[in-house]
């Protein structure tokens, strides 16, 4: 029996705006939180001890993390190297460098020849010798169209057509790998990807932009004893029959408020050929709390906010207070006492929102037809928004690039750092466009 620890989506170096500088270390407390969570995973791997660690991708927010962040990451994985625990580091979308092939943030471990570290930046089968026998690990990194296709092949095709082509191409390559597998060895597929039936966590917007999802049937194959995924930050098993389990362990810390209600953790696996047992192990991560209160109809607005704060356990949590009020209530808000009520929090933000007394303006053109071209929809929307006039031209240009073929622009891996107010909802459509 082979014991495996599967973790993913570390995103070390994310969410500094939710932290503060620790005066003792000079480091952002959110970096320390992420390192603590990773360190708990590695502790468990060493205590068990496991025979293999699988990391499902997205080590950092982008492919060029600052050296002290890289060092914090490497310092934890080094503990596995010292204990002779083989480790697979899969390359996720946030790890890839947009300039040409290779150069992912994790490739340095292969370049340095770190013993027992397998970098998954191509679709390859690694046969790994562990203390308790051999295991086959297929690595399937984040795919971009250039991974499997030439520019000529995709010229003139729509995004949907390209995605279909990409799936077909992947199906063939994967089939080739599967045929070369030793049927007597336990086999794991490690993939950084979006499966079509996944419930989305923080990667939701990326998925909308990319539109590239893989069918579950492509992964839930009898040749695999366990499918170890990364990319979606919310833990879930996608395969109801559990044969094989197709599991996102989720991220190990909350990357932003979209993960406020999610449990964070890693997965422990016991594997034999044809038999697998797995278990999600929660990590004690920092709480995030959104306190949202509408005081526009309250008689005593200040008391209503204070009551909403008092109801929540905000000690050491990352908190955002959002209160909706009418403009004439502004004078009744005592912000000093709000700050003092929120002071037990680790960090907090206060976001007052004015409730408009006027009905929300509708844009009739956008309701007329569902088949309106997205760019036209955006133009119409912008024409109706005086307040966005200054940035309208650059938004149109960005949208044009996105819709043309420059998927890389869309996937610039900084999206987690952006707060929801950077989103523009085009009324009447489900489209969300991200300002770059």
**Could you list the residues that contact Mn ion (CB under 5 A)?**
58, 92-93, 231
Task: Establish whether the linkage from the previous residue to 370 is cis, with ω within 30° of 0.
Answer: no
Least Cβ distance, residue 207 to Mn ion (angstroms): 10
Alpha-carbon distance values, 126 to 80, 88, 89, 109, 330 (Å):
18, 9, 12, 16, 63
Torsion sign across C-alpha atoms 349, 354, 360, 366: negative
In the bound state with Mn ion, the residue whose beta carbon lies nearer, of 231 and 320, is 231
Q: How many angstroms separate the first and last alpha carbons of the chain?
A: 48
231 forms bridges with which residues in the sheet? Answer: none
From the CB of 13, what's the least distance to Mn ion, in Å?
Answer: 14
CB 185 within 8 A of CB 224: no
The residue whose Cβ lies closest to Mn ion is 231
Using the minimum distance from each CB to Mn ion, give the nearer residue, 93 or 236.
93
The three-state secondary structure class of 235 is coil
Quote the CA–CA distance of 98 and 79 in Å, as a whole number.
30
Residues 417, 62: contact at Cβ < 8 Å? no
Distance of closest approach, residue 105 Cβ to Mn ion, in angstroms: 13
Q: How far apart are CA 396 and CA 41, in angstroms?
A: 44
* Residue number with CB closer to Mn ion (51 or 58): 58
Q: Which is nearer to Mn ion, 174 or 193 (CB)?
A: 193
Nearer CB in complex with Mn ion: 279/412: 412
Q: How far is CA 424 from the centre of its chain?
A: 20
Q: Judged by CB, which is closer to Mn ion: 93, or 163?
A: 93
Nearest CB to Mn ion, comparing residues 143 and 314: 143
Strand partners of residue 3: 270
Q: How far from 31 is each of 21, 27, 354, CA to CA, in Å?
A: 10, 7, 34
Beta strand spans in 141-245 (E):
187-192, 226-230, 236-237
Q: Using CA atoms, how far apart are residues 58 and 387, in angstroms rounded to an integer?
A: 36
Asked whether 317 and 286 are in contact (CB, 8 A), the reply is yes
Least distance from C-beta 305 to Mn ion, angstroms? Answer: 37
**Adjacent-strand bridge partners of 247:** 228, 237
- Residue closer to Mn ion (CB basis): 399 or 411: 411
Shortest Cβ distance from residue 206 to Mn ion (Å)? 7
């Amino acid at each position: 029996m082979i014991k495996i620890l599967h973790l993913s989506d570390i995103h070390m170096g994310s969410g500094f705006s939710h932290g503060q500088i620790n005066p003792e270390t000079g480091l952002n407390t959110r970096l320390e939180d992420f390192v603590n969570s990773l360190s708990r995973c590695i502790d468990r791997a060493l205590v068990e001890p496991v025979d293999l660690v699988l990391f499902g991708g997205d080590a950092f927010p982008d492919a060029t993390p600052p050296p002290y962040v890289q060092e914090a990451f490497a310092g934890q994985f080094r503990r596995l190297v010292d204990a002779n625990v083989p480790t697979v580091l899969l390359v996720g979308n946030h790890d890839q460098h947009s300039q040409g092939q290779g150069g992912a943030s994790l490739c340095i471990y292969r370049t340095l020849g770190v013993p027992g570290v397998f970098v998954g930046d191509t679709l390859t089968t690694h046969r790994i010798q562990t203390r308790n026998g051999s295991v086959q690990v297929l690595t399937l990194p984040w795919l971009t169209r250039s991974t499997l296709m030439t520019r000529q092949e995709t010229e003139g095709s729509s995004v949907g057509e390209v995605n279909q082509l990409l799936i077909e191409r992947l199906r063939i390559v994967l089939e080739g790998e599967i045929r070369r597998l030793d049927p007597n060895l336990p086999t794991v597929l490690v993939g950084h990807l979006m499966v079509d039936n996944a419930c989305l966590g923080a990667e939701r917007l990326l998925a909308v932009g990319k539109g590239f999802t893989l069918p579950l049937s492509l992964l839930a194959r009898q040749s695999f004893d366990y499918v170890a995924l990364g990319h979606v930050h919310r833990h879930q098993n996608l395969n109801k029959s559990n044969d094989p389990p197709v599991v996102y362990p989720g991220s190990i810390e909350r990357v932003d408020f979209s993960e406020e209600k999610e449990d964070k953790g890693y997965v422990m696996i016991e594997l034999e050929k044809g038999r697998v047992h797995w278990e999600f192990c929660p990590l004690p991560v920092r709480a995030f709390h959104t306190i949202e209160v509408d005081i526009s109809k309250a008689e005593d607005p200040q008391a209503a906010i204070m009551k909403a704060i008092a109801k929540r356990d905000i000690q050491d949590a990352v908190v955002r207070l959002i209160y909706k009020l009418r403009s004439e209530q502004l004078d009744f808000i005592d912000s000093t006492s709000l700050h003092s009520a929120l002071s037990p929090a680790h960090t907090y933000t206060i976001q007052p929102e004015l409730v408009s007394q006027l009905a929300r303006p509708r844009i009739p053109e956008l309701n007329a037809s569902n088949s309106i071209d997205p760019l036209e929809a955006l133009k119409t929307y912008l024409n109706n928004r005086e307040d966005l006039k200054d940035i309208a031209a650059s938004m149109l240009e960005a949208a044009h690039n996105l819709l043309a073929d420059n998927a890389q622009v869309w996937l610039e891996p900084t999206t987690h750092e952006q707060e929801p107010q950077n989103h523009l909802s085009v009324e009447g459509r489900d489209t969300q466009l991200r300002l770059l």
